[in-house]
Structure 1
Amino acid sequence: MPSIRTDDGVDLHYVEAGSGTPMVFVHEFAGNALSWEPQLRFFARRYHCVAYFARGYPPSGVPKDARSYGQDRATDDIAAIIRGLNLAPAHVVGLSMGGFATLHLGLRYPHLARSLTAAGVGYGAERDKRAQFQAELDASVAKLRAEGMASFARAYTHGPTRLIFEEKDPRGYAEFAEGMERHSPEGSALTMLGVQRERPSLFDLEERFRKLTVPTLVVAGDEDDPTLEPAIYLKRTIPTSALAVLPKCGHTMNIEEPDAFNRAVLDFATAVDSGAWRTRIPASQAGGIIAAR
């Protein structure tokens, strides 16, 4: 499997398929590059698709130093993939943890992105939820280190936002849950502590989001409660954004509802590539209900 080496010496392994306009996929905490298989098969028919294993996720490198993990580093890793494979500007599609990094790419490296899709974004982002989120992460790391990856993964993948996936598609859910059991325990622990626990709240980035000009699609499952308010906030704040909500859908949306997810991203990317994606009309946010202000 090919790889790109980052500036701090971590090898990021990736898979690719197809040709055409580049599209990069950035996975969630409980997944890896292979979680994007339904998207690689679909989008490779017309795009050059690349999905990579984040640092901490074998076969990519698993640094032992906690300082090697963080939101900025996760964002830099997307940039390393895009630059290393000469993909700029690329459509960048991220889920959950990968969605956070995708948004930060737009803020820090907008020239590398043709568009941004941020799906399932918002865990711990609300200010009144931050302490709870950090406490749950600390407990999760303690469980992982005490009981091992298999026990931790069984508990993590049975969280409240995954239950709808298990209910509607037990076979797909089982494959997803079993896949997480093979993750690196130390890589997972350091990712939780360095990336997820310490990332800034989306709500503290409002001023920067209001200046973001990269076309952005925010996607939320309507049964993924921790992401609903952040998704609405992002829609109201990023002037080039749209919000898609998938009905009866939880957090693992790209494999839980691949057809609906793929269609939403395809329609978005097509509009961007055709020049039809426009900035929101300011008057639509002037505060009027019936009459224009």
Structure 2
Amino acid sequence: MKHKHLTAVMPLLVSLLIPITAISASAAKEVEVNGVRLQYVDHGSGEPIVFVHGVPSDLRSWEPVREGFAKKYRFIAYTQRYFGTRPWPDDGKNLTVATLADDLAKFIATLNVGPVHLVGWSYGGQVTTTAAVKNPSLVRSLILYEASVASMLPTDSAEGKAAREDRAKLLAPAIAAAKAGDAVQAAKRLQEAVFQLPPGEFDRLPQDWQTRVLDNARTLPLVFSASPPPVITCDMLKSFARPTLVMHGEKTQAFYALIAEAIGKCVPSAQLVVLPNVGHDGPRRDPAAFTAAVVEFLSSR
């Protein structure tokens, strides 16, 4: 594994305090996948890059980096089933990582754009990793930013144990709110937990961020009660031969950093990049640095 710590790759172009203008709904396209209709944005030309969002979110989470990637690549971001503002096709029983990973594979195949560069962030990184390991022929390269692949968190070290305990403690308020039927509070507490924000700080975030998260708050009871995701092991990743870039923020929680480092050690010739001065919010807080790191990686393939 190659390890790289970026320092001041590019000046910050967008900060947490500057709202991002989300792409209009009229500009989004639709495709039917596994019996559901998924919205997606297709911008630019060149080698296709498919972006997979986290929780609770949708394709709008990638707006800070869309223009940067579309200058050189075909940027494709989609909203996974149950996310976004559309009515659900059922009661949510199919919201599992396994289902979403299968949707992703079918999405790529239906658009006939594979093999693609596949980018996943957080929960989206878990979905992309699951899809990539199962369908390597659809993947040109895999890029993960703080993928929440919990099965890769070390279990044989005090550091790994402490990270699990901290994670459970941080998520407890959001899970409790979801179980109590308050999805909005669950979404707010989850954002504050994973982005390391002070209590109540969610209400002071840019309006576009708040809107996107609250639009997707209804998914959290489903996510928290879903069946466990498919287990990803180091042995599985050792046989994954596609070029892989694994990233985490310098200031992120140990949970994400340890998972990123573990994945980087297991995937053959993976490159690990640490983005300076950011946490789990890297693609939004410093979209220029995130974009530059990915473009540099892709340009060297």
Q: Normalization by structure 2: what TM-score?
A: 0.78
1:189 aligns with 2:218: no
2:190 counterpart letter in structure 1: Y
The residue that corresponds to 2:14 in the other structure is: none
1:199 aligns with 2:241: no
| 1:172–1:256 Cα contact (<8 Å) kept | no
SS of match in other structure, 1:115:
strand
Name whichever of 127-136 and 144-153 sits farther off: 127-136
Cα distance in 2 for residues equivalent to 1:45 and 1:114: 19
1:56 aligns with 2:89: no
Cα distance in 1 for residues equivalent to 2:131 and 2:149: 18
The residue that corresponds to 2:288 in the other structure is: 259
SS of match in other structure, 1:181:
helix
1:225-277: CA deviations, max 9, x gaps?
Answer: 211111111111100311000122111211111011000111111122xxxxx
The residue that corresponds to 2:143 in the other structure is: 117
| 1:56–1:188 Cα contact (<8 Å) kept | no
Among 36, 41, 52, the alignment partner of 2:67 is 41
1:138-188: CA deviations, max 9, x gaps?
Answer: 763441353534333222221153339x99xx9865542342112251x33
Cα distance in 1 for residues equivalent to 2:263 and 2:86: 31
The residue that corresponds to 1:268 in the other structure is: 297
The residue that corresponds to 2:192 in the other structure is: 158
Name whichever of 207-216 and 138-147 sits farther off: 138-147
Q: Give the aligned length.
A: 263
Among 212, 227, 230, the alignment partner of 2:256 is 227
Could you say if the C-alpha distance between residues 173 and 236 of structure 1 is closer, same or farther in structure 2, counting changes exceeding 3 Å? Answer: farther
SS of match in other structure, 2:215:
coil
The residue that corresponds to 1:68 in the other structure is: 94
Q: Normalization by structure 1: what TM-score?
A: 0.80
Could you say if the C-alpha distance between residues 35 and 257 of structure 1 is closer, same or farther in structure 2, counting changes exceeding 3 Å? Answer: same
How far 1:40 moved relative to its partner?
1.3
Name whichever of 143-152 and 222-231 sits farther off: 143-152
Cα distance in 1 for residues equivalent to 2:224 and 2:90: 14
Could you say if the C-alpha distance between residues 177 and 184 of structure 1 is closer, same or farther in structure 2, counting changes exceeding 3 Å? Answer: closer
Cα distance in 1 for residues equivalent to 2:170 and 2:299: 39
| 2:40–2:76 Cα contact (<8 Å) kept | yes
Cα distance in 2 for residues equivalent to 1:14 and 1:77: 13
Name whichever of 76-85 and 123-132 sits farther off: 123-132
What is the alpha-carbon root mean square deviation over aligned residues?
2.8
Cα distance in 2 for residues equivalent to 1:158 and 1:178: 15
2:249 counterpart letter in structure 1: G
Cα distance in 2 for residues equivalent to 1:97 and 1:32: 11
| 1:93–1:116 Cα contact (<8 Å) kept | yes
SS of match in other structure, 1:94:
strand
SS of match in other structure, 2:192:
coil
Cα distance in 2 for residues equivalent to 1:218 and 1:238: 10
How far 1:63 moved relative to its partner?
4.1
| 2:42–2:76 Cα contact (<8 Å) kept | yes
1:115-135: CA deviations, max 9, x gaps?
Answer: 110111236442446687578
**What does 1:22-37 align with in structure 2 at a 5 Å threshold?**
22-37=48-63
How far 1:137 moved relative to its partner?
5.7
1:158 counterpart letter in structure 2: E
Unaligned residue ranges in structure 1 (runs of 5+) = 273-293
The residue that corresponds to 1:216 in the other structure is: 244
SS of match in other structure, 1:91:
strand
The residue that corresponds to 2:32 in the other structure is: 5
Cα distance in 1 for residues equivalent to 2:177 and 2:268: 41
How far 1:67 moved relative to its partner?
3.6
SS of match in other structure, 2:51:
strand
| 1:22–1:48 Cα contact (<8 Å) kept | yes
Cα distance in 2 for residues equivalent to 1:10 and 1:62: 9
SS of match in other structure, 2:127:
helix
How far 1:60 moved relative to its partner?
5.1
Structure possessing the higher relative contact order (Cα contacts under 8 Å, 6 or more residues apart): 2
